[in-house]
Chain A
Amino acid sequence: MMTRLRRLAPVLALAALLSHAPAVSAQQAPQQMDEFVPIDKLPQQEQIPAANLLIPAYAFVWIAVLVYVGSIARRLGGVQRDVERLEADLKARK
């Protein structure tokens, strides 16, 4: 009996989770926006949690672009050296 219950436990847990899923998704249903409305002042309590998301967003963009530029510069430098070496070899052979 205990073994059977133990086997059924994951199935029961999944069933319980799924039965709650529609309720969870129903709680979070903000309206779709069709325009942004500006305001002058921001409520104080808004700033800290939003800043924790805003700063990583901007940091990610800057870091990703800089890393990509560095990657192109490194690859281009390598190929440029190959071109110069091969051109010198070709010249020496002639």
Chain B
Amino acid sequence: MPKWFTPASVICALMFAVSPLLIANAPFESTMGLVQKISYYHMPSAWIFLIAGIVCGVASIRYLFQGNLSQDRLAQAAAELVVLFGALAIVTGPLWARKAWGVWWQWDVRLTSSLMGWMVSVAYVLVRKYGGPGSDKLAAGLALFGMANVPFIYISVNYWRTIHPKTSVVPKLPLQMGIPFWFCVVAFVLLFTLLLRLRVRLEEQRARVDELYLALD
């Protein structure tokens, strides 16, 4: 593992340990109250879900057109993280919505497109696991659809009728809410980077096992 990995892991763990204190000290939102504090983990999870989708899509394009195996490993690692962070966003969102909107789920464009994006990434992981020979290219094609969905998910709240908060809530965050929010964003980005490196390492070691079996034959 690279030299930066261990210190970065310690910093990330400390940031996650400190984040509940910062969130607890942040002010309550005027209409939603206490439940709005879910946003400090929900929004960074959702952003990482989208970023991981883009990483997976770009790496898949490079694998499809250049045949670069390291990009295929990166895409496979990122796809699993799309599933993880997507699950975090999709589970924490309804817990917030239950109190803020009075319902667990709305079939509006933001929620539905996010669910679709998450299901595409689940399909990617399943195809890679059970698809057999050739599943790498089939999954790479799926990743392109997943990536194409990302900008649609992001802008959907600004263009279609929905009760999901707009993207403008982030730049308009007051300082007392902005500090814990951006702190959590940095913690989640760091977590994503560390998990991605760890997951790529797993694929590299699997490739090494294949090489060793071939060398033994």
Query: Does A76 interact with chain B (Cβ within 8 Å)?
Result: yes
Q: Which residues of A contact B41 (CB under 8 A)?
A: 57-58, 61
Q: Which residues of B contact A61 (CB under 8 A)?
A: 41, 45, 88, 92
Q: Which residues of A in the span 32-69 have a Cβ within 8 Å of any Cβ on B?
A: 32-43, 46-47, 49-51, 53-54, 56-58, 60-62, 64-65, 68-69
Tell me whether A43 and B33 are in contact (CB under 8 A).
Answer: yes
Query: Does B102 interact with chain A (Cβ within 8 Å)?
Result: yes
Chain B interface residue count, CB cutoff 8 Å, equals 59
Tell me whether B177 and A76 are in contact (CB under 8 A).
Answer: no
Q: Which residues of A contact B164 (CB under 8 A)?
A: 32
Q: Could you say which of B29, B34, B88 contacts A51, with CB atoms under 8 Å apart?
A: B34
Known contacts A53-B38, A57-B95; decide if A36 and B33 are in contact (CB<8 Å). no
Q: Could you say which of A28, A36, A56, A82 contacts B172, with CB atoms under 8 Å apart?
A: A36
The CA of A80 and the CA of B161, in the complex, are separated in Å by 51
Query: Does B101 interact with chain A (Cβ within 8 Å)?
Result: yes
Query: Does B122 interact with chain A (Cβ within 8 Å)?
Result: no
The CA of A91 and the CA of B166, in the complex, are separated in Å by 61
B81 and chain A: residue at smallest CB distance: A68
Q: Could you say which of B169, B176, B216 contacts A93, with CB atoms under 8 Å apart?
A: B216
Tell me whether A60 and B88 are in contact (CB under 8 A).
Answer: yes
Query: Does A19 interact with chain B (Cβ within 8 Å)?
Result: no
**CB-CB contacts of B3-47 with A at 8 A, as 1s and 0s?**
000000000000010001000000111111111111101100100
Q: Which residues of B contact A89 (CB under 8 A)?
A: 216
A45 and chain B: residue at smallest CB distance: B33
Q: Which residues of B contact A86 (CB under 8 A)?
A: 209, 212-213, 216
Query: Does A29 interact with chain B (Cβ within 8 Å)?
Result: yes
Query: Does A10 interact with chain B (Cβ within 8 Å)?
Result: no
Q: Could you say which of A28, A33, A42, A49 contacts B169, with CB atoms under 8 Å apart?
A: A33
A-B contact pairs, 9 of them (CB 8 A): A32-B161, A32-B162, A39-B27, A39-B30, A50-B33, A58-B41, A69-B195, A83-B212, A86-B213
Given A36-B173, A38-B29, A54-B37, output 12 extra A-B contacts at Cβ < 8 Å.
A30-B100, A32-B162, A34-B166, A36-B165, A39-B30, A43-B33, A53-B95, A58-B41, A62-B16, A64-B87, A68-B195, A83-B212
